[in-house]
Each structure stands twice: as structure tokens, then as C-alpha cells.
Structure 1
Amino acid sequence: MTEQLVGVDGVRAATAVSPADGTAPVIEVTDPVTGTPFGRLVMSSPEEVRDAVGLAHRHQPAWAATPPARRGRLLHEIAEEVRASANRLARLNTAETGRPFSQALDGVLAGAATLDQYAELAPVRGGRALLGDVAATDLMVPEPRGVVAVLTPWNEPVAVACGLIGAALATGNTVCFKPSERAPHLGRALGQVLCAPLPSGVLVRVTGDGRVGAALVEDPRVDLIAHVGSTAAGRRVLAAAAVRGAAVLAENGGNDPLLVDSDVDPVWAAGQAAIGAFTNSGQICTAVERVYVHRAVADRFVAALVDQARRYRARPRDTSEVELGPLVDVRHRAHVHGHVTQALDAGAEVGCGGVIPPGPGSSYPATVLTGCRPEMAVFQEETFGPVAPVRVVDSFDQALAEAAVDRYGLAATVLTGSMAHAQRAWRELPVGTVKVNDVFGGAPGGAAQPRRDSGNGFGFGPELLDEMTTVKVVHLGLPGDVANPEP
């Protein structure tokens, strides 16, 4: 079997790897639709990881000295390369993670748009002048952090990578890029596309699982780790970085609530809940993970939500149905089904779904659970699957109070016709983003700052440029005889 070994420069020759070779760890990817092998990639060795960081470290000063406008032009070129490769990247995404092609393509195009955004924003971004002595000048000047390790997830592999890498490069950092081991072929192809217009050593990439990620995090030449992934992995990153004082930008797991007030159309609200819970089979960072619905509209809401869930099909048969891709692999499906089974054993009821379908692959049906309680795993933890657990509450106050009790702090959605309730929700919910009457709403360039176990730092928007830089304070005084001339 011929494999591409992704090393420090991304252009190494293909290497023959036998399944029984055993000379280096191998990533094996299974098609989540068919359950058949898709491909194998050799992981980067510890030596290659060290070489990758060293290459980025050596080239960082020259890249930082490159005029920002020049860096911006190169980012625009990268964006065009991403668009030109969009279909190929989207097909690889579908093959490795099962994401429906149209959604995968949207993610690629969103990544290209983000690169264009940072190409425009970074060159016009400046520091701050301070008012002090009239005979002096005081400045706060942003400078690149140095080498940024970018560790990206499998559920939105292109858009997230383009955002973090684009912001890091635009501000003068060099980047070591490790894509998720669940989408390594896509990560390799994306790395090749992103590297094409850039000078050598500005963007280097490695392939591997958590062991390769740990090697990056622990390297003393890495100045900032930008990680998007699970909370467990995020904690390991934070712990390793804390030992040597490296900066960390992290978006971890979430357990986002959806609150349905008594004064909204329950059918419309069910449509919002279905979009939030079932899009990309629930494998979205800000997916709806738990639903609180007011008793006054609960029966009609649940009936409409069950009807919506039944329209999500692995293979749509007509235009009224929505494509539901598989979960990324059978290991993740076991996690999702475990949450459902635990809820049913604890007294919840299934409105639809909740059964592993026969046949190959890792498909899982859109599932609605009723009679859920706060102590159940589907309400306590991130399920990250097409599951909508519903809890009926007696008042908006109850919904707000229970939704706020959570160790995560990523996002929340509130469906209400009351401006007072909307105001209370965005003020009282301890999350980084509150969306009112639009489960996936948001303006272009919007920023997000997760809280608590969901991470730290701005992961999007112009504010991400601040995360990628550090500030140097400069006081420029005059020599004594100039500053205080004799009369």
C-alpha cells in the first residue's frame, strides 16, 4: 500500500507501508457510510515533529518582518487556492467523516471567506498611543507571538483550520498545523493547498493522533497553542502548556441549551430545535444539546419535533426530507447511543430514533427523548450526536435557572416573543454566546469567547487577531538636554 508521509515540508516522497510493518504508528480511516477501509497514513515521528517546529521557528523572524500588506496578499492567494480545490476537499471530508457533501462544501467556502477576512483586517490593524508627557511618546504595539501550534477538529475541519491559521499567519506568526486524526487525508490535502503560495517554513504540518499533538504542545519553541476539540483533550493541552508557561487558545466541548418560551409558535420552535440538534448529525460545537420547553406549548412542540426528526434520512427519498450523514465512526456512535440508553434506563421515553440501525457504517437516527431530567448524561454531558433530549418546565424562570447550571459555557439559544425574557436570558446565562430566535444566527465577523470548561479566548472575528499577538509597551523619551532645554 502506498502512503504519503506528511513530514515537515509536505512534499516528501510516497512511502510504502505494510500493515504488518510496525516501524511507525499508522492512522487507519474507515468510511463511516460503508464501514470499509478508506485509507492509511503513517504518523509523523517525534523527530519529524521536532524538525517541523524547528523549521517554523527558524523562518518566523523573516515572516514577521514581511510587510503586513504582503502577508495579506498571500492570504488572498491562499483563499483562491482553497476555492479552486473546494470540491476535492469537500469530497474528502465526506469520505472521512460522513458529512453530507453540500454541508462539507459550505464549510470549505466559509474557510476561504475567513482567509479573505483576515487578509483585509490584519494590515489595517494597529496598536494604541497613550497620553503622557508632552516630551515623550507612549505606544502599545502588537507583535506576533512566534510559533503557533494549530490543532483542529474533524467536525468542521476546513473552516476552523482556515480561521486559526489565517489569523496566525496574518499577524506574523509561523504555524505548525496538526489536523485531526479522524480526517487525516483531508488535513494533508488542505495543508498542501494552504502551503502552496507561502514561503518555505511559514506553514508546516504534521500528521498524527494525540501523541503528535502532545509533542507539539510540549515543545519549548511553540509560543501559542490554538486547540479546538474535546474538553478532555483541551485539559491535557492546558496542563502541558502550564508547565512551561505557553499561551493557550482553546474551544472545548459544549452543552448548549435551547429554551422554548410559552409565547412562540411551537411548530416553528420545533424547526429551530431540529436544525440545532440534527444538522451534521449533531456534530457541531454549538449544536443544541438539551431542550427546555414551557409546559404551555410542550405537547405541540414535541409532536412537531418528532415529525421534523423523521424527515432526517440517511438517504433522502424526496425533497421534503433532509440528508442525515453518519456519525464519524462506530466509537463515537457508541458514545452517543450510551447517552441515549442511560436516559431510557433512567425513565426517559423515546419519541423517535434511539436504535442503532442495521448494516455497515456508523449511522444513527435523529432521536427525540422526552421525560428527561437534569441528572441524566444527555443533560449533563456533550452527546455530540443527532439527539434532542426534552425537558418540560413550568415557567421561563425554571428553564433559565436550570439551563444556567452547567460546567460548560459555550452558547445558548432562546426562543421567545418577550423582550424582557430575551434581556434576562442574555444577561443571566453564563455562556459566551446567546442567540435569540435564531439557533445558528450570527453576523459575519462575529467573535466568540467560551467560558468555563468550554475553553478560553476569542476563536473567531477580529478579536482572534488579538489572541495571536502579544503587546509590547514602548515609552519614547527625549534626552535630558532636549527634553528640558535651558532657557
Structure 2
Amino acid sequence: MSTATVHDVITSEDEARALGLAADGLWIAGEVVAARSGATMPVDDPATGRPLADVADADEQDATTALDHAVEVADTWARTPPRERGEILRRAYELVTQRADDLALLMTLEMGKPLAEARGEVAYSAEFLRWFSEEAVRVAGRWSTSPDGATRLLTMKRPVGPTLMVTPWNFPLAMGARKIGPAVAAGCTMVVKPASQTPLSMYALARLLQEAGLPDGVLNVVTTRRSGAVVGSLLKDRRLRKLTFTGSTEVGRVLVEQSARNLLRVSMELGGNAPFLVMADADLDAAVDGAMVAKMRTMGEACTAANRFLVHASVAEDFASRLAHRMSRLRVGRGTDPGVQVGPLIDGRSRDDVDALVQDARDTGADVLTGGEPLPGAGSFYAPTVLSGVAPGTRLLEEEIFGPVAPVVPFDTVEDALETANGTDYGLVAYAYTRDLSLALRLSEELDTGMVGINQGLVSNPAAPFGGVKHSGFGREGGPEGIEEYLETRYVGIKP
């Protein structure tokens, strides 16, 4: 099997070995194949702007071929004993863990996040494989007697069937593992379309799953620059039974509309506008620690990133000052360099979008406590930024920032904080810091989000259901709920 075609930007044996985990062609039926047209596309290093490798650039026919193979093995795979499916995932967990350093380096090269964060994502990804290896044997139905006693009611679970998975660039390994793990456990076959910016990690995961014993054709990976056309063509295919997507609300809305043609099972993990509430009684040291995690994970390029810091007026100035001090001390650079804490944004367009939001806030009266501008030189770097005095209605508070920018907004009452926090179309996650148990419970109940972090800036956990409400999507990934997204319920009535 061929590995990714590597450019001369690679400077070390470690980088070359990491790139060797990936492939340069489409992953179809367990083999690396070229795109039908022979077209390729570059994968760039966002820290330098230079190409790392070339991969296949698929068209609609390539995607149909991938689905052909997923459909061909669907029935056989669905009948595979749950224990066998679970053992494949367990072996995949062990392989990902063993090769964590190379996988982390590969991710850093194509996405930009610092190596320490990339290692954390690899561990997080592996845990999804382990969690669902255990869930594979826990799928169960029920047996009961009808109320009139005349019939026996048998309820069983069956795999949904061939599934299309569209994954984002910001967590290129974890989002794949979070979808593939439950699908394998449930007995579904898959076509995965990773983001064109970061396909290498997905190719590496596909190879490791094959090494772990996943039969050919169960998992197929198709890379393309023509995402709309390729995904759209698959959604028109009546053999496809499910779509799962992680990405922006705008794209998700289009995919939901397209999926309605064939009434697909759909799960959507979309955008966010996460509030981070700091109450008057909060431990400010702990709140700042949590804010750094909630804001700066993956350079702020996460749907779970804290977007609006709502801080009680009595402590707002102190909190903003402490946060600005911490942000100003972060080391920015290429994620492979020692000591780097903040990598580049994914590309120049993303950097410019973040800067436009910051400049709009400044034009409407916001004060820059630290940062506030792109960093000079190669790569798409943006300075970690803290703003105060941000006016209500500013774009920065209404839109998902997706960058290392923290606007601090004071509030006077709990009611004010809740009204502001909930005053958005999004509802993925909220964070709140307080030492008052009753207040913590109230916030947990009244914040209109799918997830809430109390006194912690990180909520993601493979054993917990991840997902949002409102325009942040529907469906859940992870936890016991995660496998249900890949199962259908069948009822059988039996006359004794």
C-alpha cells in the first residue's frame, strides 16, 4: 500500500514516519486506489502555508464506488457477532495507543495544534474505540406480554445500515473515532468524507482499523475538494441509510434538507456560541484556569470553545485582568516546536475572519487588553486576545469566533446572565463557575444547552453523550446514547 506523497517541507525522520501512516489514494475496500480522474489535492501545513503531501481528489463516481463496497458487505458485517466487532475495536484502541506519538505528530503537521494537545486528542480518540468495544456486546432488546395477554412482544435492535460520515478539520482523529466506534459496534458499514484540509489522520485511522481486523469494505474513506457535489451525490443514493455530520450550522442545514429526499436517519453536531458564566462567589483562580481550557483548546477552533465570558460585575474587571495576563504569556508558534502552546489557525481565511470580528468590536468601543491582531510572518497565526467593554449586539457576541479571542461582558443578576446566555440560536454547551450548590443546580437546569460544565472548562468525555439543541444540532455521540444513533428498533408480535 502506498503512503502519502510527501513534499520536501518535511524536515525530520519523525515527520516522515508520521506521514507514512497516511495514504495518498482513496481508501476503498481495504486498498489504496487513485481517484478515477487521477486528480490530486495538496494538504498544507497551516504553520508555514507550504504543502505537506498530496492525496486523491475524488469525484462523484469514486464516492459511488466506495458506497458500492459498503453496501456489498453490509449484510455480512451486520451478522458478525458483537464480540468480534468489539474485539476489533479493542485491538484498534491498543494500536492507536501504541502509535500515539506518530499520530499526534501527523495531526500537528496537518492541523497545526501543539503536540501536547494532539497527544491529548489521540488519547481521547482511543477512548472512544475502547468505550464502544465494550458497548458492542450490550445492545439489547426486550420481551414482554401484551396488556391483554394474547400476544408476546419482542423488540430487537438492528444496525441502521450503510452510513455516510462527514468529519471536520479541527479534530481530525477524534471526530472520526467518535463516529466510527459506535458504527462498528452496531454493525454498520461506512463511507467517511474527511475535511479536505486534514485527511491524513483519517487515512491513518483506517489503516490501523484494518490492521486490527476490520474486514475490507466496512470502512471506506473518500477525500475531495468538491465536498458539496460528492456528498450530495451520495445523499441521493437510495442505498444509503444514515448521515452523520460534524461542522458548521450553515452546511448542516443544507445537508439536512438534502437528506430529506431519502428520509435518512440523521445526526448533526453543529456550531456553538458557548457562554462561560463566572458568578460573584466563584473561585477566580479556578475560573481563569477553566477559561484557558474552554477558550484555548485547539486555538479556540472548537464548537465547544467558550465564546462569551459573562462575568458578574463585582469581579469582571479582576477576572478580565487575570485572563489577559495568562493569555499574554502563551507561546505561539509551529505546533512541533518545543514549548509552543498556541498553534496557527487552519488557514489565512480563518485568521482574517477572526480579525474582522475583533476589529468590528474595537470599532464599536471594545478595549483590547491583550492581543487583537494577526501575527506577522508565515502561517495563519493570531495573537491570543482578551477584550473588555464589548457592546451588546456586537458580531463577536453573536457569531462563532473560532479563534483565540475572549470577550468579557459583565452582568448584574443571575436572571441577566441566564437571559444573555440563552439569547442565541445555538445551544451546544455552557460553562459556569460558582461555589453555591443551589445556584449550580439552577444553572444546570435553566441553561438552554445540550451540555453544561460546572466548575470545569472541558466537558467532552467518551462515556458521556455529546451534542446540542436548537441550531447546534441533534443526536448524541458518546456514552450509552452514542450507539443508539446507529441502531433501528424492530418490533415482532408473536401469537403463542
Deviations 1:297-332 (A, max 9, x none): 11111110110111211149xxxx761111111111
Q: Which has the larger radius of gyration?
A: 1
- Indicate if the aligned counterparts of 1:311 and 1:322 stay in contact, CA closer than 8 A: no
Alignment partner of 2:493 out of 448, 451, 475: 475
- Indicate if the aligned counterparts of 2:26 and 2:34 stay in contact, CA closer than 8 A: no
Give the corresponding residue for 2:92.
Answer: 78
Q: Distance in 2 between matches of 1:146 and 1:107?
A: 28
Give the corresponding residue for 1:371.
Answer: 389
Q: Distance in 2 between matches of 1:390 and 1:83?
A: 39
Alignment partner of 2:191 out of 163, 173, 176: 176
Give the corresponding residue for 1:69.
Answer: 83
Alpha-carbon shift at residue 287 of structure 1 (Å): 0.9
Q: Distance in 1 between matches of 2:166 and 2:160?
A: 17
Structure-2 change in CA distance of 1:159 and 1:412 (3 Å): same
Alignment partner of 1:242 out of 260, 266, 269: 260
Q: Distance in 1 between matches of 2:120 and 2:46?
A: 20
Question: RMSD between aligned alpha carbons?
Answer: 2.1
Deviations 1:197-230 (A, max 9, x none): 2112111111114233333333221101111111
Q: Distance in 2 between matches of 1:344 and 1:115?
A: 45
- Greater shift, 208-217 or 245-254, is seen at 208-217
Alpha-carbon shift at residue 152 of structure 1 (Å): 1.1
Q: Distance in 2 between matches of 1:251 and 1:99?
A: 21
Give the corresponding residue for 1:395.
Answer: 413
Q: What secondary structure does 1:126 align onto?
A: coil
Structure-2 change in CA distance of 1:25 and 1:343 (3 Å): farther
Alignment partner of 1:252 out of 260, 270, 294: 270
- Indicate if the aligned counterparts of 2:361 and 2:394 stay in contact, CA closer than 8 A: yes
Structure-2 change in CA distance of 1:195 and 1:216 (3 Å): farther
- Indicate if the aligned counterparts of 2:279 and 2:434 stay in contact, CA closer than 8 A: yes
Matched, 1:224 2:242: yes
Q: Distance in 1 between matches of 2:208 and 2:235?
A: 24
Give the corresponding residue for 1:268.
Answer: 286
Question: Percent of pairs identical after alignment?
Answer: 35
Matched, 1:190 2:205: yes
Deviations 1:388-444 (A, max 9, x none): 011111222211111111000100011112223222211111110111111114665
- Indicate if the aligned counterparts of 1:10 and 1:205 stay in contact, CA closer than 8 A: no
Alpha-carbon shift at residue 186 of structure 1 (Å): 2.2
Normalized against structure 1, the TM-score is what? 0.92
Q: Distance in 2 between matches of 1:261 and 1:185?
A: 43
Alpha-carbon shift at residue 134 of structure 1 (Å): 4.0
Alpha-carbon shift at residue 80 of structure 1 (Å): 2.1
- Indicate if the aligned counterparts of 2:139 and 2:157 stay in contact, CA closer than 8 A: no
- Indicate if the aligned counterparts of 1:144 and 1:172 stay in contact, CA closer than 8 A: yes
Deviations 1:144-199 (A, max 9, x none): 11101111111112122112111011111111111111102222222222233211
Q: What secondary structure does 2:431 align onto?
A: strand
Alpha-carbon shift at residue 45 of structure 1 (Å): 2.2
Report how many aligned residue pairs link the two structures. 469
Counterpart of 2:237, as a letter, is D
Give the corresponding residue for 2:444.
Answer: 426
Give the corresponding residue for 2:52.
Answer: 38
Q: Distance in 1 between matches of 2:272 and 2:459?
A: 17
Gaps of 5+ in 1: 18-22, 479-487
Normalized against structure 2, the TM-score is what? 0.90
Matched, 1:163 2:185: no
Structure-2 change in CA distance of 1:257 and 1:236 (3 Å): same
Matched, 1:52 2:66: yes
Alpha-carbon shift at residue 2 of structure 1 (Å): 5.0
- Indicate if the aligned counterparts of 2:452 and 2:459 stay in contact, CA closer than 8 A: no
Give the corresponding residue for 2:163.
Answer: 148
Matched, 1:9 2:29: yes
Give the corresponding residue for 1:112.
Answer: 126
Q: Distance in 1 between matches of 2:461 and 2:185?
A: 22
Q: Distance in 2 between matches of 1:73 and 1:190?
A: 16
Give the corresponding residue for 2:21.
Answer: none
Alignment partner of 2:342 out of 316, 324, 348: 324
Structure-2 change in CA distance of 1:84 and 1:215 (3 Å): farther
